């Protein structure tokens, strides 16, 4: 797509995340609305992470699905493709890792034979990764708010019974439900 400059600002910082996501996803209206909704939800759950990590959370929420842009496709696995592009553009390494691992991506990476490639980005288990996953798993297509169980069912329905999502469901669903429980406990305590 010729009108989308596929480069980050000369010194990318987190404040450029929304603009970058819009440039890359505006021609994918369902994905763009979803990403905007995830960023909105990330702001709503930001109290569950350390104050110093809140901007990073929202930036990762904006950028988590940029790997769906056709020109960014290297592996065909959007979390990894997005992280690889962000890395090449000089975005912070931790942000790249959050994008690479969002919403249990490691389960799908294993099913796709991409575990080694994904491992270039360290996985962290933290309130920050939980908040990003929760935000992603409580916003559906076109930015519609959903319960986590509803989102899991929507993903399975959309991808189909023979999909990678269906094959990893037995691993990913318990992980997503545990994340949701942790975030909801933190929200109640905040």
Fold adopted by 14-189: Hypothetical protein af1432 (1.10.3210)
Q: Tell me the domain boundaries of the chain.
A: 14-189
Reply yes or no on whether the pLDDT at 3 is more than 50. no
Tell me which residue has tokens 């000369």.
10
> Looking at residues 153-169, what average pLDDT do you find?
87
* pLDDT grade for 14, boundaries at 50, 70 and 90: confident
Q: Which two tokens stand for residue 43?
A: 């702001």
Helix residue ranges, H only, 8-163: 17-25, 29-44, 54-63, 78-88, 93-101, 105-111, 115-118, 127-137, 148-159
Reply yes or no on whether the pLDDT at 138 is more than 60. yes
> Looking at residues 82-88, what average pLDDT do you find?
97
Task: Specify the pTM.
Answer: 0.92
């Amino acid at each position: 797509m010729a009108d989308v400059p596929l480069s980050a600002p000369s010194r990318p910082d987190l404040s450029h995340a929304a603009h970058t996501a819009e440039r890359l996803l505006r021609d994918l209206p369902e994905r763009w609305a979803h990403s905007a909704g995830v960023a909105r939800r990330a702001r709503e759950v930001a109290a569950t992470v350390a104050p110093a990590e809140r901007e990073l959370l929202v930036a990762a929420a904006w950028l988590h699905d940029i790997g769906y842009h056709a020109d960014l496709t290297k592996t065909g696995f959007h979390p990894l493709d997005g992280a690889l592009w962000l890395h090449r553009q000089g975005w912070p390494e931790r942000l790249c890792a959050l994008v690479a691992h969002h919403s249990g991506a490691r389960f799908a990476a294993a099913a796709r034979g991409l575990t080694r490639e994904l491992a270039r980005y360290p996985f962290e288990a933290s309130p920050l990764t939980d908040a990003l996953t929760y935000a992603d798993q409580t916003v559906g297509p076109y930015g519609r708010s959903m319960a986590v169980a509803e989102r899991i069912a929507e993903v399975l329905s959309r991808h189909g019974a023979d999909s990678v999502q269906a094959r990893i469901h037995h691993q990913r669903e318990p992980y997503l439900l545990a994340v949701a429980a942790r975030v909801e406990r933190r929200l109640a305590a905040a």
